[in-house]
Amino acid sequence: MKIVAAKAILKANDQLAAENRERLAAERVFGINLVGSPGCGKTTLLEGLFQRLQGQLAPAVIEGDIAGQVDAERMAQIGVPVVQINTDGMCHLDASMIAAAADGFEYGRIDTLWIENVGNLVCTAGYDLGEHLRIIALSVPEGDDKLVKYPAIFQRSHALVITKLDLLPYSNFDVARARADMKRLAPEAEVFEVSALKGDGLDALAQWLVRKHDALLGPKTGQDSFSVRNGKENGKES
């Protein structure tokens, strides 16, 4: 009987992830892995951010789901290049999936490649996809105890985005506790408080992303004509 250790599988994934990261950097594309529970507001967050990043960073998205293409359709409706990955039961994406999906983009037209990972706080923690930045979204309705219960995913993230802040008056979510726990788990990570539906907090997050992009790849020269308004991309209806 042949036994394959999990460490060997993860090592192979990490090697491919490093290749993904190098490829993105060579193409001057900033890779961002967005993780969080199902329903925490990841897709709505992206929609709000893309509006604020128009003329600054042109996006593309890889959508990861067990089944369906609901979120991919939302991206397509606003003119964002998108590739859907259906894992058929797997609770996370891996580097090989990203390598295959990334071939579906025209790199000369994008500045950021967002990976909206499968909704999960456990499986997604252990898999490097080749991103340059990992952001975890935590919604107010989920509760502030998730950082204590699922520390690994928070420890490995560069930023915590507390979403659905407009629901705070109807919840016992303790923002100060969440901030303190994130500081303990990932001392260098940033924390943002956002209501994507109302637009609160999105400007600060968007400008932080621009700074992170510029620090790695250098500032963009000129502006792109990408627009997410009215489902238009490069002046054409999507």
Q: What are phi and psi of 115, to 5 degrees?
A: -115, 105
- Domain assignments of the chain as residue spans, ordered by start: 14-213
pLDDT, tens digit, 9 for 90 and up, residues 6-27: 666 678 999 999 999 999 999 9
> Of the ranges 74-83, 148-157, 166-175, 214-223, which one carries the lowest mean pLDDT score?
214-223
Q: Which pLDDT band holds residue 230 (cuts at 50, 70, 90)?
A: low
Judge contact between 51 and 232, C-beta under 8 A. no
CATH placement of domain 14-213: 3.40.50.300
Question: Read out DSSP for 5-26?
Answer: -HHHHHHHHHHHHHHHHHHHHH
pLDDT value at position 232?
39
Question: Read out DSSP for 79-92?
Answer: T--EEEEE-TT-SS
116: β partners = 34, 63
pLDDT value at position 237?
31
What is the H or E stretch that residue 122 is in?
none
Picking from 125, 115, 179, 124, the residue whose alpha carbon sits closest to that of residue 156 is: 125
d(CA 75, CA 119) in angstroms, rounded, equals 17
Average pLDDT score, the chain: 92
For residue 64, pLDDT over 70 is answered with yes
pLDDT value at position 151?
98
pLDDT value at position 87?
96
pLDDT value at position 46?
98
Inter-CA distances, 142 with 146, 172, 216, Å? 7, 10, 33
Tell me the two tokens of residue 20: 């993904």
pLDDT value at position 2?
56
d(CA 189, CA 157) in angstroms, rounded, equals 7
Question: Read out DSSP for 63-76?
Answer: EEESS--HHHHHHH
* Amino acid type, 171: S
Mean pLDDT of 71-78: 98
pLDDT, tens digit, 9 for 90 and up, residues 152-200: 999 999 999 999 999 999 999 999 999 999 999 999 999 999 999 999 9
Tokens 């107010």 locate to 140
For residue 5, pLDDT over 60 is answered with no
Q: Which pLDDT band holds residue 220 (cuts at 50, 70, 90)?
A: confident
For residue 238, pLDDT over 50 is answered with no
pLDDT value at position 118?
98
Tell me the two tokens of residue 235: 């002046």
Residues of the chain with pLDDT > 70: what percent?
A: 89
For residue 235, pLDDT over 70 is answered with no
What is the H or E stretch that residue 182 is in?
helix 175-185
Tell me the two tokens of residue 123: 């499986």
pLDDT value at position 49?
98
Mean pLDDT of 38-47: 98
Q: Please, which residues have CB within 8 angstroms of residue 35's CB and are 6 or more apart in sequence? A: 117, 120, 121, 124, 125, 134, 135, 136, 137, 153, 157
